[in-house]
Amino acid sequence: MALLAVSNLATEFKTQAGPRRAVDGVSFAVERGEVLGIVGESGSGKSVTALSIMGLIDPQVGRIAGGSISFDGQDLVGLRLAELQALRGRRISMIFQEPLSALNPCYTIGDQIGEVFVAHGDGAGPATRGRVLELLKLVHIPDPEGILRRYPHEISGGMRQRAMIAMALAYTPDLLIADEPTTALDVTIQAQVLNLIDRLRRELKLAVMLITHDIGIVAQYADRVAVMYGGRIVETGPAETLLIAPQHPYTIGLLASVPRLGTGRSRERLREIPGTVPSITELVPGCRFAPRCAHRMARCGEQAPPLEARAAGHDAACWWTGAA
């Protein structure tokens, strides 16, 4: 049984035109110890999927409208808040895009990490301090004793994200959701942080949901990939096959838009996908990528293509089969 099995998830938000689905019928699974990369442009529903799993959709503005999220056999949809709270930070952890805004400016790093233990009934005190120090060493923070007493604004972006990771790993969760963990960091720091996550997930046997808009990151770190567009998964499969033989025109477009060095084609113009990601109030019927697609057919505007197998474990949702 998969550690996490999301099935037909639909999450909707209130808009002026009525409820609209930011995630619409998404299904995927994450096995224990596996890295699932979720790729897509901003607004494709990646973060909303993650927040739905955490139960962090603000009930004032949105809700999970359907589907199930099975975590270790337990459906998280409709779970009582107290039960969700017992899972959060302990068995499922999440790290966010911008570590400066994700950390509370009023409390020290040590306080904010130690708080995870307090939240789960392990109390504060010298023992907790020792555990926090261990965590800081685990994420290779130099001078952990000093960092413990620092406020978020007093340390660098890379150190902050390491502190966030330490916080997320307090209880060695089964699942780590990393939502664009390096987008706000310098390129050199990005690699350090990603390598750290990769090393830790091997050592601690974590399953990771790595959410990113950067298909290059997915290529390097993910075992399997799910490509999202307009609140749906348009293609999913093992990283090697999906990246080498993409089936969906959107995936093909994403890969073509990655700049390449040293291929002798450096003078070639960088290719882009025409148009922009639709907002949730302007989603079209049928295939949502159709308005931007080069292989659009009459059928695309009428009927949404289902996810269908193209190879072993490799599915795509597209009427066009020309890529194969």
Interface contacts to other proteins, rule CB under 8 A? 54, 56, 60, 81-82, 85-90, 93-94, 96, 98, 101-106, 115-116, 119-120, 151, 153, 164, 167
SS3 54: helix
Residue with Cβ nearer other proteins (89 or 305):
89
Please provide the distance, in angstroms rounded to a whole number, between the alpha carbons at the two ends of the chain.
Answer: 31
- The helix/strand count (H/E) of the chain reads as 11, 12
Residue with Cβ nearer other proteins (129 or 150):
150
Residue with Cβ nearer other proteins (106 or 298):
106
For the chain, strand residue ranges (E) read 4-15, 18-30, 35-39, 62-71, 74-75, 92-95, 175-179, 207-212, 224-229, 232-238, 308-311, 314-316
Rounded Cα–Cα distance for residues 133 and 113 (Å): 10
Mention every residue, 6+ apart, whose C-beta is less than 8 A from residue 88: 54, 55
Residue with Cβ nearer other proteins (23 or 53):
53
Residue with Cβ nearer other proteins (58 or 272):
58
Contact 13, 62 (CB under 8 A): yes
Tell me how far CA of residue 50 lies from CA of 16, 152, 241, in angstroms: 24, 24, 25
Rounded Cα–Cα distance for residues 40 and 226 (Å): 9
C-alpha 298, offset from chain centre: 33
Nearest-approach distance from CB 256 to other proteins, in angstroms: 33
Nearest-approach distance from CB 168 to other proteins, in angstroms: 8
Rounded Cα–Cα distance for residues 96 and 116 (Å): 16
- Tell me the torsion sign for CA atoms 75, 77, 80, 86: positive
Nearest-approach distance from CB 224 to other proteins, in angstroms: 24
Rounded Cα–Cα distance for residues 164 and 36 (Å): 20
Nearest-approach distance from CB 85 to other proteins, in angstroms: 5
User: What are the residues facing 62 on neighbouring strands?
Assistant: 13
Residue with Cβ nearer other proteins (106 or 324):
106
Nearest-approach distance from CB 86 to other proteins, in angstroms: 7
Residue with Cβ nearer other proteins (14 or 205):
14
Nearest-approach distance from CB 129 to other proteins, in angstroms: 17
Nearest-approach distance from CB 103 to other proteins, in angstroms: 6
Q: Which two tokens stand for residue 260?
A: 């390449």
Residue with Cβ nearer other proteins (106 or 312):
106
Residue with Cβ nearer other proteins (65 or 86):
86
Nearest-approach distance from CB 169 to other proteins, in angstroms: 12
Nearest-approach distance from CB 288 to other proteins, in angstroms: 27
Count CB-CB contacts under 10 A for residue 53.
23
Q: Which of 201, 268, 146 is nearest to 31 (CA)?
A: 201
